[in-house]
Structure formats: C-alpha cells, structure tokens
Amino acid sequence: MSADDNRNEQVEEELTAVERAVAEEEEARAEAAASDDTLESKVQELQEQVLRAQAEMQNVRRRSEIDVEKAHKFALEKFVKELLPVADSLEKAVESTSGQGETTELVASIREGAEMTLNLFMNCLKKFNVEQLDPVGEPFDPQQHEAMSMVPSPGAEPNSVVAVVQKGYTLNQRLVRPAMVVVAKAGDAPKIDEQA
C-alpha cells in the first residue's frame, strides 16, 4: 500500500469518526429536546397542582372562619334556652299581680319589683341579640310560630295570630323557641276533628 492509500484510509476513518460523532451529537440534542419537553410538561403539571393546593387551602381557611364565626354567634343558644323559663315566670308574676288592683302596698311593691326584674332581664337578653317574638295580629308563620289551636274570630283575619300562649325568642335572627299561638280560623271553614 502506498502512502496515498494509507492517507486516504486514515481520512476515511476520520470522516467516519466525525460522522459518527455528529450523529451521536444530533441524537443527544434530540434526546435533550425531548427531555426538555418532558421537563416542561412536568413543571407545568406541578405548577397546576400547587395552584390547586393553594385554592383548596384558601377554601378550607374560609370555611373554618365561617364555622368559628357561627360558633361565636350562636354559642349562647343553649344558655338562652335555659333562661327563657325565668323570663316566662317573671312575666306571669307581673300578669298575676296586675289584675289584682292596688289592694295592698305589699302586692304593689311585689309587682313593681317583678316588673323591674323582668325589664332588667329583657335588657340583658337584648344585649346579646336575643329578641322576643310577640306575634299578636301577625299572619301565622310556621317557621316561627307553633299553633296550639284555631278559634273562630270574626274581628281577625283568617290564619292570623289572635293570642300568644307562650312568647318565642330568636338569637341573632335564629329561632331559639317558637311562639305558641292561637290562630284565627275563617268563619265558614269546615269543622276539623281535632281529636283525630
């Protein structure tokens, strides 16, 4: 073999080696590009997961704040229910002594003391947003009233409250105890068997 043939062979080997190196480099670039696409999609997916997690945390925080607010607002409900019989008793005491007239000074002073105690008690309840329901003359509302009976009442609108047996109460506009009422029925209404 001549020197030219050796040189040609060497050049061909070098060209083959260069071609292989170029092909390997192109493969590496293609893999890197594919890897970049895969990485970008993973990064985007993770960003979406983070955004969802943040939104869920905000929703949980908002719900818990609402729950805490309601707990503070209605924490007194059981306590108020237990105090309502005291208000009823004071009202009955005032009613029972007011019909007697001024027979004795003792009865008058007892009535005055009961009235003052009742007013003090009702003002205390109002401070904590406890409102009294006294629906005489209002239309019957089954959401706030409990009908004890129906009576014919020519002077009142049908289905309106004509008497209150026991007053109702609300705490922050939420019903604590419904008002027990007597409802007017229409004069021409058919008779209902109340025993059934």
What pLDDT, on the 0 to 100 scale, is given for residue 179? 93
Helix segments in the chain, DSSP class H: 3-73, 77-98, 105-127
Q: For residue range 14-65, what is the model confidence (pLDDT) as tens digits?
A: 778 778 887 888 887 777 777 777 888 888 888 898 899 899 999 999 999 9
Close Cβ partners of 157 (under 8 Å, ≥ 6 residues apart): 139, 184
Across residues 64-69, what is the average pLDDT? Answer: 88
What pLDDT, on the 0 to 100 scale, is given for residue 1? 60
Residue 196 has pLDDT above 60, yes or no: no
Q: pTM for the complete prediction?
A: 0.59
Q: What is the CA radius of gyration of the chain?
A: 43
What pLDDT, on the 0 to 100 scale, is given for residue 192? 58
